[in-house]
Amino acid sequence: MSGLLSLRPERLRELSLFAVMAVAVFIFSLLIDNYIGGSFFNRVTTSVAITAVLAAGQTLVILTRNIDLSVGSIVGVTAYVTGEYLHNHPDLAPVLAVGYAVAIGAGLGLLNGVLVAYAKVPAIIVTLGTLAIYRTWLINHSDSRTITSDGLPDWVVELPNSTIVSFGDFDIRTVVAGSIALIVVLQLMLGGLKWGRWVYAVGSNPDAARQAALPVRRVILGVFVASGALAGLAGFLFLSRFGTITVNAGNGLELQSVAAAVVGGVNIFGGAGTLVGAFLGAVLINLLDQSLLRVPGLSEFWRDAVLGTLIITAVAVDFLLGKRLGRLSTSARGRRATGVPPPGQGASSDA
Amino acid sequence: MRDKALRWRWELFLAVVLVAVFIVNINISEFYLGEQNFINMFQLSIEKVIVVVIMTFVIVNGEIDLSVASVMAFSACVLAALHQGGTVPFELAVVIALLAGTFAGALQGAFVAFMGLPSLVVTLAGLIGFRGAGRILVEDNSIGDFPEWFETLGQEPLIGRFSFALIFFLVLIVVAGIVLHRTAFGRSLFVIGNNANVARYSGVNVSRDKMMIMTASGFFAGLAGILFASRLGSVRGDLALGFELDIITMVLLGGVSIFGGSGTMVGVALAILIVLNIRNGLGLANIDQNTQTGVIGVLLILSVLVPNLVARLAGSLRVARTAERGPPAPGGPKEGGDTARQEADLRPTQG
Amino acid sequence: MNPDGSLRKRRFEGGWRGIAWILAALMVALMLAAAGCGDDDDDEAPADSGGAADTSSGGAGGVVTPEPGQEFRSVFIPKQTGIAVFEQANNGAQEAARELQVDEPEFLGPSSPENCVSGQIDTVTNAGTQGVNGIMISNCAGDQVEPAARQAADAGATVVSWDSPIPSGEGESVFISQVDFDETGKVMADLALEILGEQGGEYAILSAAPDAANQNAWIKAHEEAIKDPKYSNLKLVDTVYGNDDSEKSYDEALGLVDKHPNLKLIMAPTTVGIAAAAKAMTDEGLCDKVKVSGLGLPDEMKEYTLSGCAPKFALWSFTDLGYLAFFTAYGIATDQVEAEEGAKFEAGRLGEMTIEKDPTRENGLRVLMGPFTVYDESNVEGG
């Protein structure tokens, strides 16, 4: 137990998420035939890829005590516009195509960032505004046309299918591997680079960060650009997954990304949380959603209610667990450090 | 306090915008000026604006309630299901539906007030869960055929051209303004929103107040849902879908700080007038809803951007003038405002 | 007390507040006053159709050819703007307007699926305020649009629904039915039979939103149709809702396959659903096992039909639908066509149309446009 308590709080949070997932998988495997099998694994992993990328971007923003509600519209715009571009330039190299989407997303995120960081407009206001503005632009630009998959190059349409390696029925698809690799790289950067530490600093105490002469505005600008760029990438994945893109593409994805982040233990008030946690949050929500879809006898109409209940349960359990373990861990560390029991639990920090 | 002065500048900005919208509307459509039209303008969105009033309290208190639209639907669905079941007299069904909404608010309030979970997360789960609960009751049916008094209440005017809902709203907003600004309870909400810990040490019962506000939010959302059912004449599972965004936009446009602790009912009233007038005026000029949404998005951002810039300009002018005059005598007026919030700007911003 | 310790009232501290209050009060007063002076809608007479109403009114017998050129201001309301099928319908309506030498309709409607109900109610109410002559609506609000439609009709507008009716039949003059809704059920059954063959098999329906009136009507009709012994080998095992959302439809399609291992066909009477299901089957390499059919747009389904994933599907012309809706609305609004059972009129290039009692609803009249077009690899590229 003491080994467990020597872990940092974030690791504990992530472990508790794993625990919740394991319990869920166990329960569902009793309800659903062939649950623990390759095909379900593939379903969940491919549908998680898009949400995971968005959750990563959202986490970066939330860490700085902001929020980005425009990601759904950014996904819609980039998916549509990239699809259009590929229609007209079908020989575009894959790297450039992805880069195109990412660049557009980054540009849209840049506008968000400038308004938040430099014009001092609160993030929720800016991104509520751009949520509407970007979608309005898309509808006007589209002229009611739908992007259809037959106009897209083959490699785009087949991307969701392509697999890097298979273990029997369990495929590790390209998009899944790519997303995971991206998250890992970002997490390492966040943890290891000084820029990463600045993100946490700005989120936990903006005033102190400012007084410590950190480039607060540039950090905030940076996370919004990153969020936009990641949303652009998600838009590309969206395009390749669905092929048919209308002006409604990406509707509602912003709430999903926030849900994934908070379920994953990212503190909505900033300064705490990890990308890995957000990824696990995305996986958990997706897992619950996809599992409920397959429970025999569970009517369509019960699913959302059950999903809402499960989310609040997961968050509450995770929160309490984290608090309890965090308190024990702090006191355990206190005991180890001084060799004397700490003066009671009252002074323990709030989670 | 500079804070207060800047806030009134916000309301001045809103008032100016309202005048501008009014003038534009008169010029773009001959149908705008008409008593019936003004009544329509309110009646078409009356349920939304009732919830806007209560959402003001929630946000001033430092919380947020994303589930309001879903609770509206939930209450309406309870009413419809009971009505269809036929065993409960309709009047009792209305009471039960109101209780259902109140319960929804209380349940979420308990998580927020007593467990300390962030309201964004709890009400996000509520957004999903309560709409789902409504779906369980109503499935894919459209339930109508309400008693005549009920439909008349919603669709026919009660006094003059004013419907019951409109009269209720006018009374509500005045009463709410008084409660928010002139009672001790209202003041305690501001204090809690400003800094819950400080409030707690000052003897304010934070948990109880938060619980009350979240429960009230559920109650009024339930009431709005029932009024909506009476106006529409029937209930479906998709009632009030997506309303929460519009509601929050109106509150934020009204100058209520998303971080809690500041805002005025006058500002919110002005924001309501602005949004309703824009939608109505542009609609009568046959400008499509897509554009209307975009305009409101731009307005939302400008509503913070412009006062910020003006304040910045005024500030730098003042600095320039002070520099000319030389440093102030000790004990003279200081820049920087009060220590309680440490903001240099209209809003506590990041970076 | 001021920050510098003094108690003197800072200049203009109450001043700004006062200004805001005064302005707000002025605004409200101004609005009420202007409302009093402004033209009230009740005083506005609906724009009269100037032309001579000399044409033989429809009753059993005379086929009316609507005379062009009469005053007709109208609004064409889709379920959502920015969606291809509704744009096509609008093009049809505009074509009709040009042919009839009247103003093209205003194309107004909700800009997002969530906002459909309140967006349409708002648009219909505003149209009534403007005293338009005609409202043509593809209704997504079920009976909830009824009060607004009635209000507009009282103000003189002719309300005509197309693609999706007002279920109760109240508030609308007539419903332009692209195909017979009961027939849709049978067409879906026939498609299933053709694809699954004599030995039949398990299949499931992937619909749009659970509240979509037209899909619900079609599904109900379909469930009735398959009671015929001809279809006895067809086993409908599930009905799920994709909400006309690509992601949800995609997930639901895969969910169906997982829940029902012997599933052989997914029938999706929604263009979003059928495209998403086809992509899902293609992505997972399931096309050999599970086919996809339903109502689809040839443009979007081309690839999947040629690949064999969606060998056959059906649709109708949205352009023709909008065209017919406009002709009908014009005819009724200008008092040249009676909105009653048995009335016949010429609808331009679509020929003779009849208003009849709608057999698929309890109340309501309809104009039946015409048959389905069934697409397969032979004609999907031309479609």
Task: Encode pLDDT of B274-327 as tens digits.
Answer: 999 999 999 999 999 999 999 999 999 998 888 888 878 888 888 877 777 656
User: Cβ distance B36 to B289 under 8 Å?
Assistant: no
Q: Is residue C86 part of a domain?
A: yes
Task: Look at residue C1 in the predicted model and tell me its pLDDT.
Answer: 55
Model confidence at B344, pLDDT cuts 50, 70, 90, reads very low
H or E stretch at C152 = helix C146-154
Q: Is residue C153 part of a domain?
A: yes
CB of A139 less than 8 A from some CB of C: yes
For chain C, how long is the longest CA-to-CA vector? 95
Instruction: Kindly state whether residues C216 and C265 are assigned to the same domain.
Output: yes
Instruction: Kindly state whether residues C191 and C165 are assigned to the same domain.
Output: no
Closest-CA distance, C207 to chain A, in angstroms, reads: 12
Q: Is the pLDDT of residue A282 over 70?
A: yes
Task: Look at residue B99 in the predicted model and tell me its pLDDT.
Answer: 97
Going across the sheet that includes C201-207, the strands are C234-241, C201-207, C263-268, C291-294
Q: Which structural domain, as residue segments, surrounds residue C214? A: 181-315
Task: Look at residue C33 in the predicted model and tell me its pLDDT.
Answer: 58
Closest-CA distance, C114 to chain A, in angstroms, reads: 10
Domain count, chain C: 2
Q: Structural domains in chain B?
A: 2-322 (1.10.3470)
Q: Is residue C381 part of a domain?
A: no
> What subunits make at least 3 CB pairs under 8 angstroms with B?
A, C
Instruction: Kindly state whether residues C216 and C289 are assigned to the same domain.
Output: yes
Closest-CA distance, C299 to chain A, in angstroms, reads: 7
Within C284-335, where are the H helices?
A: 298-306, 318-333
pTM: 0.88
Q: Is the pLDDT of residue A344 over 50?
A: no
Instruction: Kindly state whether residues C215 and C154 are assigned to the same domain.
Output: no
Task: Look at residue B2 in the predicted model and tell me its pLDDT.
Answer: 46
Mean pLDDT of chain B: 88
N- to C-terminal Cα separation, chain A: 20
In A256-295, the residues whose Cβ lies within 8 Å of chain B are: 258-259, 262-263, 268-269
Instruction: Kindly state whether residues C174 and C185 are assigned to the same domain.
Output: no
Q: Which residue on chain C is closest to A147 by alpha carbon?
A: C300
Closest-CA distance, A264 to chain C, in angstroms, reads: 22
Q: Which of C275, C293, C315 is the last residue of a domain?
A: C315
In A218-247, the residues whose Cβ lies within 8 Å of chain B are: 219-220
C214: number of Cβ within 10 Å = 23
H or E stretch at C293 = strand C291-294
Q: Which residue on chain B is closest to C211 by alpha carbon?
A: B140
pLDDT digit string (tens) for chain C, length 383 residues: 555 555 554 444 445 555 556 666 666 666 655 555 444 444 444 444 433 344 444 444 578 888 888 889 999 999 999 888 999 999 999 999 999 999 999 999 999 988 999 999 999 999 999 999 999 999 999 889 998 999 999 999 999 999 999 988 888 999 999 888 888 999 999 999 999 988 889 999 999 988 888 899 899 999 999 999 999 999 999 999 998 888 899 999 999 998 898 999 999 999 999 999 999 999 888 999 999 999 999 988 998 999 999 999 999 999 999 999 999 999 999 999 988 899 999 999 998 999 999 988 888 999 999 888 899 988 888 65
Given its phi and psi angles, is residue C335 left (phi above 0), alpha (psi -120 to 50 degrees) or beta?
Answer: left
The encoded tokens of residue A91 equal 């020989």
Instruction: Kindly state whether residues C110 and C218 are assigned to the same domain.
Output: no
Q: What is the DSSP code (8-state) at residue C368?
A: E
Q: Is the pLDDT of residue A349 over 50?
A: no
Closest-CA distance, A44 to chain C, in angstroms, reads: 10
Domains of chain A, by residue range, sit at 1-32+295-351, 38-287
User: Cβ contact (<8 Å) for A304 and B132?
Assistant: yes
User: Cβ contact (<8 Å) for C82 and A139?
Assistant: yes
Q: What is the pLDDT of residues A66-77, one digit of tens each?
A: 999 999 999 999
Residue in B35, B44, B239 nearest the CB of C36: B35
Q: Is the pLDDT of residue A318 over 50?
A: yes
Pick the CATH number of A38-287 from 1.10.3470, 3.40.50, 1.25.40, 3.30.70: 1.10.3470
Classify strands C174-177 and C365-368 as parallel, antiparallel or unpaired.
parallel
N- to C-terminal Cα separation, chain C: 78
The encoded tokens of residue A179 equal 């997303």
CB of C238 less than 8 A from some CB of A: no
Task: Look at residue A338 in the predicted model and tell me its pLDDT.
Answer: 56
Q: Which of C282, C297, C315 is the last residue of a domain?
A: C315
Closest-CA distance, C199 to chain B, in angstroms, reads: 32
Task: Look at residue C166 in the predicted model and tell me its pLDDT.
Answer: 92
Instruction: Kindly state whether residues C218 and C267 are assigned to the same domain.
Output: yes
Instruction: Kindly state whether residues C275 and C363 are assigned to the same domain.
Output: no
Q: What is the DSSP code (8-state) at residue B337?
A: -
Which of B26-59 are b and which e, b meaning 16 or more Cβ less than 10 Å from the residue's Cβ?
A: eeebebbbbbbbbbbbbbbbbbbbbbbbbbbbbb
Q: Is residue C284 part of a domain?
A: yes
Q: Could you tell me which of B221, B226, B72, B219 has the C-alpha nearest to residue B147?
A: B226
CA angle C360/C362/C365 to nearest 5° reads: 70
Closest-CA distance, B90 to chain A, in angstroms, reads: 25
Q: What percent of chain A has pLDDT over 70?
A: 91
Distance CA C252, CA C260 (A): 12
CB of B242 less than 8 A from some CB of C: yes
Closest-CA distance, B55 to chain C, in angstroms, reads: 20
Dump strand ranges (E) for A82-231. Answer: 163-167, 170-173
Instruction: Kindly state whether residues C93 and C196 are assigned to the same domain.
Output: no
Instruction: Kindly state whether residues C144 and C107 are assigned to the same domain.
Output: yes
CB of B18 less than 8 A from some CB of C: yes
CB of C83 less than 8 A from some CB of B: no
Q: Is residue C368 part of a domain?
A: yes
Residue in C5, C19, C111 nearest the CB of B293: C111
Q: Hey, of C215, C254, C260, C262, which one would you mutate to test binding to chain A, going by the most A CBs within 10 A of its CB? A: C254
Instruction: Kindly state whether residues C341 and C277 are assigned to the same domain.
Output: no
Instruction: Kindly state whether residues C113 and C194 are assigned to the same domain.
Output: no
CB of B347 less than 8 A from some CB of A: yes
Q: Which residue on chain A is closest to C281 by alpha carbon?
A: A161
CATH number at residue C173: 3.40.50.2300
Q: Which residue on chain C is closest to A50 by alpha carbon?
A: C247
Residues from chain A contacting residue B252 (CB–CB below 8 Å): 124-125, 128
Q: Is residue C21 part of a domain?
A: no
Mean pLDDT of chain A: 87
Task: Look at residue B285 in the predicted model and tell me its pLDDT.
Answer: 93
Q: Is residue C223 part of a domain?
A: yes
Q: Hey, of C12, C22, C28, C31, which one would you mutate to test binding to chain B, going by the most B CBs within 10 A of its CB? A: C31
User: Cβ contact (<8 Å) for C279 and A43?
Assistant: no
Q: Is residue C22 part of a domain?
A: no
Q: Hey, of C132, C211, C223, which one would you mutate to test binding to chain B, going by the most B CBs within 10 A of its CB? A: C211
Residues from chain B contacting residue C35 (CB–CB below 8 Å): 33-35, 37-38
Higher pLDDT, A171 or A78: A78
Residue in C3, C110, C126 nearest the CB of B338: C3
C213: number of Cβ within 10 Å = 23
- Give me the interface pTM, i.e. the ipTM: 0.85
H or E stretch at A204 = helix A194-204
CB of B30 less than 8 A from some CB of C: yes
Task: Look at residue C86 in the predicted model and tell me its pLDDT.
Answer: 94
Query: How far is CA B69 from its chain centroid?
Result: 12
- Coil, helix or strand at residue C375: strand
CB of A312 less than 8 A from some CB of B: yes
Task: Look at residue C62 in the predicted model and tell me its pLDDT.
Answer: 75
C3: number of Cβ within 10 Å = 15
In A173-192, the residues whose Cβ lies within 8 Å of chain B are: none
Higher pLDDT, C20 or A278: A278
Closest-CA distance, C27 to chain B, in angstroms, reads: 7
Please, which residues have CB within 8 angstroms of residue B307's CB and are 6 or more apart in sequence? Answer: B6, B9, B10, B13, B346
